[in-house]
């Protein structure tokens, strides 16, 4: 029998933690991810089912956390849902069971790389990388943006804390862009 080992998006067995000046970039592979989209005419049913299972359905450009799940808006009646990988490795099946026919659920965990960014102030870094006015948006802001020609999601947790989702297939390129921009700022 084959002896398989899970690897992070960067190809290692352990998550990468990189420090450039005051910036810490932490690869997160402990997050399960799924997309949830309301089926046609079923939004009211989805809201009811989501409430019953503790799934937040935040407004546009918002990220919201609950006891188990967190979610951010990606399109009308569509969200990306986060949960701890250790307890939600099968997030798609769990959400399908909880939401029933009210939603279409798609596994997204292995499609994205997640990096947590932490520094006293992320504004100078993000000003070099994307068109999000980071100081002007409130905590909990979530948006799609371009970084180095890659479609990414940026979630602001605070002035010095954010999560960045990028395509898993471009994880090393995205990390390189973060490191180069950080080196030019600090």
Q: For the chain, which domains are there?
A: 11-186 (3.30.1360.120)
pLDDT at 129: 98
**Does pTM top 0.85 for this prediction?**
yes
Closest CA to 63 of 149, 131, 146, 165: 165
Task: List, for residues 19-49, the tens digit of each pLDDT value.
Answer: 999 999 999 999 999 999 999 999 999 999 9
Which pLDDT band holds residue 184 (cuts at 50, 70, 90)?
Answer: very high
The rounded distance, in Å, linking the Cα atoms of 145 and 29 is: 21
Closest CA to 96 of 158, 50, 139, 127: 50
* Ramachandran class of 94: left when φ > 0, alpha when ψ lies in -120 to 50, beta otherwise: alpha
pLDDT at 5: 81
What is the overall mean pLDDT for the chain? 97
Chain position carrying tokens 């989805």? 46
Instruction: Tell me if 173 sits within 8 A of 150, measured CB to CB.
Output: yes
Task: List, for residues 73-108, the tens digit of each pLDDT value.
Answer: 999 999 999 999 999 999 999 999 999 999 999 999
The tokens for 119 are: 């520094």
Q: What are phi and psi of 6, to 5 degrees?
A: -70, 140
Looking at residues 142-159, what average pLDDT do you find?
97
């Amino acid at each position: 029998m084959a002896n398989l080992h899970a690897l992070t998006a960067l190809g290692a067995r352990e998550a990468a933690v990189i420090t450039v000046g005051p910036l810490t970039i932490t690869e997160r592979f402990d997050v399960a991810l799924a997309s949830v989209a309301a089926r046609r005419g079923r939004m009211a049913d989805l809201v009811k089912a989501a409430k019953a299972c503790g799934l937040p359905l935040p407004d546009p450009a918002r990220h919201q956390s609950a006891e188990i799940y967190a979610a951010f808006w990606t399109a009308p009646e569509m969200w990306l849902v986060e949960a701890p990988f250790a307890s939600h490795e099968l997030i798609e099946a769990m959400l399908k069971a909880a939401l029933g026919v009210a939603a279409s659920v798609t596994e997204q965990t292995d499609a994205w790389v997640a990096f947590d960014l932490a520094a006293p102030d992320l504004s100078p870094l993000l000003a070099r990388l994307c068109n999000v006015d980071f100081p002007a948006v409130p905590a909990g802001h979530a948006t799609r943006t371009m970084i180095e020609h890659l479609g990414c999601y940026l979630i602001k947790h605070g002035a010095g804390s954010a999560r960045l989702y990028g395509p898993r297939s471009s994880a090393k390129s995205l990390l390189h862009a973060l490191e180069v921009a950080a080196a030019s700022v600090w």
